[in-house]
Structure 1
Amino acid sequence: MSYVVDAHFHVWSTKTHPWLKNVVGGGHIAGDFAPIIEYSIDDYIKDARPAGVAKAVHVETVIDPLEETRFLSELPSKNELGFPQGIVAHCDLHADDAARILEAQSKYERVRGIRQLLDYHPTCKELRQAPHDKFLDDPAWLKGLALLEKYNFSFDMHVTYNQMERASRVIGNHPNIQFIIDHNGLPYDKDEETVKAWQEGLKKISQNSNVAIKLSGYAMLDRYWTAESTKPLIEFTVTTFGADRCMFASNYPVDKINSTYQGCLDALKANIARFSDAEQTNILAKTAERVYRI
């Protein structure tokens, strides 16, 4: 594979992202954000270029949605690699002004989709980034979600195992919206019962043809991760979804707390080596290019 597409990265600064100060010293599932509290597009290029990344998708970081998109839309002309080629912007789909925000986001050429954090783990407070666990059943939120079809926007779905049955139902009820499961469905738990629930949840979600999944977030969810520890997660997911619906994503700089960029990529490459060259190409580049239209 001559090039790589990164389906998920962030840039940020304490000047624009005040919440970063709340996770210095801990408070985030990945650990202490102090080493990554300032992370620019130039920082990202230094990390990603040696790994052969040719295209990248920036995913929202929970600040003013239109200001972030405006800032990101100016970046391609300011860096030689033209990053980001795609933008997953923010919108609170439950808010009264959701329609206005989506209309405004649609004016930006590189916006490809929307993300709103939905994860609400039963016991792990660091995986409760949503204010509650009601959005997937909320008529007002679902009304906002349905508006994405008008703009051909995808939706990045950030959910935990206990939400997957409802997530699958939502995905199935919106067949004309492309969904993407973030970070392999957040496989945080290691006990046999919960791992089985995660597997069954992903199997149910995979039955919908309008969904893809990111093979990412392993160093965020497990500070002591290894290529070997992620092997069963990756092999199960690729076998369940098919390589044409799986994509590499670095989740940088979050995963940088516990891994190098090359380390994340090399672990994935090792774990997909048994698949065909065409399947590996899909995972490393083609799926992200197709799903995010970049």
Structure 2
Amino acid sequence: MSEHHIVDAHFHLWSLATHPWLTNVIARGKDGHIAGDFGPVAEYDVEKYVNEACPAGVTKAVHVEAVWPGDPVGETRWLEEISRKNSRGFPHGIVAHCDLSSPNVEAILLEHSKYPRVKGIRQLLDYHPKRNNLQQAPHDNYLTNPVWQKGIGLLEKYNFSFDLHVVSYQMERASEVMRMYPNVQFIVDHNGLPVDRDEEGIKLWKEGMRLLSQHSNVAVKLSGMAMLDRLWNAESIKPFLLHSIEMFGAEKCMFASNFPVDKVNADYATLVGAVKQTIGHLSARDQSCILATTAERIYKL
């Protein structure tokens, strides 16, 4: 593996003009988002991303939906145009949005499938019972809703993966959905969002990740650690990353920056350096899986 070959499995592009929800988040300052003050990262275009990611060794990246208003395919069209216009081709893959409980879910998936960079779908499901900054879904009933579950099943038809954005309290139900649809590839976002760091919270996260890891059709993104802990450092994130690697295996783990969200509390080079430091004891093959090849394989880059 080239020292400089990294695939970023999760980043966002946005602006106040394209993603107006940012206005409300910024207005609340450091309390607007779990990561902190979004003011400095409200305008984040592909040039800014490339200037930060490429010097750190990133050669390919996957853009994940960022709550585009209105038309569920609007963000996909916007990103395809961005990719065509920049010389490096970022983003190389797109995880698009679709409400899988929508009555016109198949029409939305069909439209997404017309764009070659769309590799998967995400619908934010996180609904923490005690933290309103991790209640991005309007309710906590999707995972057990037969209509929504049928939408998950449609992903196989279009060869789309599903980015799973849930907290520990939801993982048992998510595991059942994975069992129901063994031919759909699931990717757990942000290391399973281990936000509760007391003994009970860590135990619940570990048990949830164990349940998810038992399925052959699931992978996990080693990401979001600077989002969940504003005072993070390489040592503080190490046990969480290593536990996921132990549970899932390196061939099911992938590095992701979650920029510009994690940029609130980290610069790109430091983030990459911390991950490399954490996995430095692993074999060259396992390091390559985590830094590049797992994402390339699963997202078909």
Which band: TM-score by shorter chain?
A: over 0.9
> Is 1:185 matched with 2:179?
no
Deviations 1:34-78 (A, max 9, x none): 001000011100110110100000000111321110011112221
What is the aligned partner in structure 2 of residue 108 from structure 1? 115
Q: Does 1:89 align with 2:58?
A: no
Match among 9, 14, 17 for residue 16 of structure 2:
14
Shift of the alpha carbon at 1:96? 1.1
Matched letter for residue 227 of structure 1:
A
Query: Secondary structure, in 3 states, of the residue corresponding to 2:73?
Result: helix
AA in 1 matched with 2:6: V
AA at the equivalent of 2:8: D
The CA RMSD measured in Å over matched residues stands at 0.7
Identify which of 261, 275, 285 aligns with 2:282. Answer: 275
Instruction: Work out whether 1:293 is the aligned partner of 2:293.
Output: no
Is 1:52 the counterpart of 2:82 in the alignment? no
For these two proteins, the number of residue pairs brought into alignment is 294
In 2: Cα distance, 1:22 partner to 1:171 partner: 34
**Which of 164, 170, 182 in structure 2 is aligned with 1:157?**
164
The answer for the alignment partner of 1:137 in structure 2 is: 144
Superposition pairs for residues 1-294 of structure 1, below 5 Å?
1-2=1-2, 3-24=5-26, 25=29, 26-63=31-68, 64-294=71-301
Q: CA deviation at 1:95?
A: 1.1
Q: Name the CA distance, whole Å, in 1 between partners of 2:132 and 2:40.
A: 22
Q: Distance in 2 between matches of 1:17 and 1:97?
A: 23
Partner Cα distance (1:77, 1:230) in 2: 36
Between 183-192 and 64-73, the greater mean CA deviation after superposition: 64-73
Distance between the aligned counterparts of 1:273 and 1:258, measured in 2? 23
CA shift at 1:198, angstroms? 0.4
**Structure 1 residue ranges without an equivalent (≥5):** none
Tell me the TM-score normalised to structure 1 length: 0.99
Give the letter aligned to residue 62 of structure 2: V
- Give the secondary-structure state (helix, strand or coil) at the position aligned to 1:65: coil
- How far is the alpha carbon of 1:80 from its aligned partner? 1.7
Misfit runs of 4+, over 4 Å: none
Once residues 180 and 299 of structure 2 are traced to their aligned partners in structure 1, the CA distance between those partners, rounded to angstroms, is: 21
* Structure 2: runs of 5 or more not aligned: none
Distance across 2 between alignment mates of 1:80 and 1:275: 34
Calculate percent identity across the aligned residue pairs. Answer: 60
Moved more, 261-270 or 75-84: 75-84
Once the two structures are superposed, what CA deviation does each residue of 1:153-184 show, in whole Å capped at 9, x if it has no partner? 00000000000011011011101100000000
Give how far 1:265 is off.
0.7
Q: Residue type matched to 2:136 in 1?
A: Q
2:214 alignment partner AA: Q
- Please give the alpha-carbon distance, in whole angstroms, between the structure 2 residues aligned to 1:172 and 1:51: 37
